[in-house]
Amino acid sequence: VAGDVPGDVAGGVDVGELAARLDAAAREVRAIPRLTDGLPPGTELGVDAAYRVQRAVIERRRARGERLAGVKMGFTSRAKMIQMGVDDVIWGLLTDAMLVESSVDVSRLVHPRIEPEIAFLIGRPVRSAADVDTAVAGVAVGFEVLDSRYRDFSFTLPDVIADNASAAGFGVGPWHAPDRVADLTNVGLVMEIDGRVAQTGSSAAILGDPLRSLRAAARLAGQAGITLEPGWIVLAGAATAAVPLPAGAHVRVTGAGLGRVEVTA
Ligand code: OOG
């Protein structure tokens, strides 16, 4: 994975400096103003530059020993687009440090939220969307913990792209062989918090079919020169709006036919 070096300038913005700002906010558990609010006059943070900032943030994490573990798709459902006020599909990168086993330390997060997901396990290298059909080794119900590094969880599209699509953590339930899953286009999803139903939805909300989201992930990664490696996980995107994840909460996400995954905050 090629990274941007500090001082790299795109659209007049200093990619390395913006990445350092986001990385520090995450490490110091502190919300910062949106990048797009503080740009020097005459400069602009476009979508391409925002992805360069995202990559530079990931490179900083890799320099500290984290390894790439997958890809997440964002805003693949209307519910999320409406909740966050944006209207384009985005993607971000997952690292091994983001994988949540049974509990997530929310004291390390600014204003965490959680949402139900459909997850894919990659079994063979994927370099383009054409590789996807033979590459899926497993399907699972999952969750994603989001944490915007921006004040009030408020951002424009380039801001959230630069902030690695608000990625903070993720977990998956038991893997199922893809040919054992009857129909991925309408998996009922229920997210309970402390035994109360917090969100319900259908995988149909994810671009009509989560496989479409996986193909988009493969295409976007391929364009960025990233191969989806065996063992990587792709989060297809939330099927519902995200809800706050307070300390002490116990969350259970169930997918019809896919079992469930639980996490304690
Ligand atoms: C951005 C991440 C969106 C999804 O599943 O739509 C996302 C955010 O809402 O903060 O992961």
Per-residue pLDDT 10s for the chain (265 aa) are: 444 444 556 678 899 999 999 999 999 999 999 999 989 888 999 999 999 999 999 999 999 999 999 999 999 998 888 888 888 899 999 999 999 999 999 999 999 999 999 999 999 999 999 999 899 999 999 999 999 999 999 999 999 999 999 999 999 999 999 987 778 999 999 999 999 999 999 999 999 999 999 999 999 999 999 999 999 999 999 999 999 999 999 999 999 999 999 999 9
Closest by Cα among 45, 171, 191 to 115: 191
- Position 58 in a domain: no
Which tokens is 252 given?
């259970």
End-to-end CA distance of the chain: 32
Report whether residue 75 contacts ligand 1, using a CB cutoff of 6 Å: yes
Q: Which residues pair with 148 in a beta bridge?
A: none
**Count of structural domains within the chain:** 1
ipTM of the shown complex:
0.95
Closest by Cα among 69, 254, 221 to 143: 254
- Position 39 in a domain: no
Report whether residue 35 contacts ligand 1, using a CB cutoff of 6 Å: no
- Position 54 in a domain: no
- Position 117 in a domain: yes
**Cα(131)–Cα(134) distance, integer angstroms:** 6
Which tokens is 71 given?
């890809």
Ligand 1 atom closest to Cα of 237?
5
CATH number of the structural domain spanning residue 173: 3.90.850.10
- 224 phi/psi in degrees, rounded to 5: -90, 5
Ligand 1 atom closest to Cα of 155?
10
**Cα(190)–Cα(110) distance, integer angstroms:** 25
Closest by Cα among 152, 159, 161, 166 to 37: 159
Hey, what amino acid is at 109?
A: L
Which tokens is 82 given?
């409406």
Range of the domain at 203: 67-264
Helix%, strand%, coil% for the chain, nearest 5: 35, 30, 35
Q: Which residue among 34, 54, 73, 75 is best mutated to probe the pocket of ligand 1, counting the most ligand atoms within 8 A of its Cβ?
A: 75
- Position 11 in a domain: no
Q: Are the C-beta atoms of 58 and 20 separated by less than 8 Å?
A: no
Report whether residue 74 contacts ligand 1, using a CB cutoff of 6 Å: yes
Report whether residue 203 contacts ligand 1, using a CB cutoff of 6 Å: no
Report whether residue 216 contacts ligand 1, using a CB cutoff of 6 Å: no
- Position 189 in a domain: yes
- Position 42 in a domain: no
Task: Give the model's pLDDT for residue 3.
Answer: 47
- Position 3 in a domain: no
Q: How far is the CA of 167 from the centre of ligand 1 (A)?
A: 8
Which tokens is 253 given?
């996400």
